[in-house]
């Protein structure tokens, strides 16, 4: 079965740090993606974790614990333009080269001045 849980909404202040958590249960897990989606636009790729640990990319970092079925996205030095939905998406592998992304409902982040 597939179950992805992330907070529905979060609010943070410009310049602050925010952590968006995601827990998941999938079969055939083969990595986890985070996407950013501004209202009315398509999702854009932020990060990919396949091994345990922290991946840092500028102001954004993503962490994965495979044994705990847990990931988080860390956003530093928040800017107003970071107001968007953040989608947690484990990759489910069916076997061989077949598989696809399973998206959570997303966390809507509002950055206030």
Partner 1 sequence: DTGVSQDPRHKITKRGQNVTFRCDPISEHNRLYWYRQTLGQGPEFLTYFQNEAQLEKSRLLSDRFSAERPKGSFSTLEIQRTEQGDSAMYLCASSLVGIAGVSDTQYFGPGTRLTVL
Residue closer to partner 1 by CB (options 67, 98) is 98
What does the alpha-carbon distance between residue 98 and residue 8 come to, in Å, rounded to a whole number? 30
Residue closer to partner 1 by CB (options 13, 89) is 89
Cβ at position 54, least distance to partner 1 in Å: 18
Cβ at position 113, least distance to partner 1 in Å: 25
What does the alpha-carbon distance between residue 76 and residue 99 come to, in Å, rounded to a whole number? 32
Residue closer to partner 1 by CB (options 78, 87) is 87
Residue 95 exposed, middle or buried by CB count within 10 Å (0-12, 13-18, 19+)? exposed
Cβ at position 24, least distance to partner 1 in Å: 12
Cβ at position 15, least distance to partner 1 in Å: 28
Question: In 3-state terms, what secondary structure has residue 81?
Answer: helix
Catalog residues that contact partner 1 under the rule CB under 8 A. 30-31, 33, 35, 41-45, 48, 50, 87, 89, 91, 93-94, 96-106
Tokens representing 25 are 């249960």
Neighbours of 3 (CB within 10 A): 12
């Amino acid at each position: 079965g597939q179950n992805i849980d992330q907070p529905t909404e979060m609010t943070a202040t410009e310049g602050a740090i925010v952590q968006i958590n995601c827990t998941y249960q999938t079969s055939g897990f083969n990595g986890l993606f985070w996407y950013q989606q501004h209202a009315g636009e398509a999702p854009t790729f932020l990060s990919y974790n396949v091994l345990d640990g922290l991946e840092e990319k500028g102001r954004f970092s993503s962490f994965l614990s495979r044994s705990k079925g847990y990931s988080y996205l860390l956003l530093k030095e928040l800017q107003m333009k970071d107001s968007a939905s953040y989608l947690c998406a484990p990759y489910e592998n069916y076997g061989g080269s077949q598989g696809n992304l399973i998206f959570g409902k997303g966390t809507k982040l509002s950055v206030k001045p």
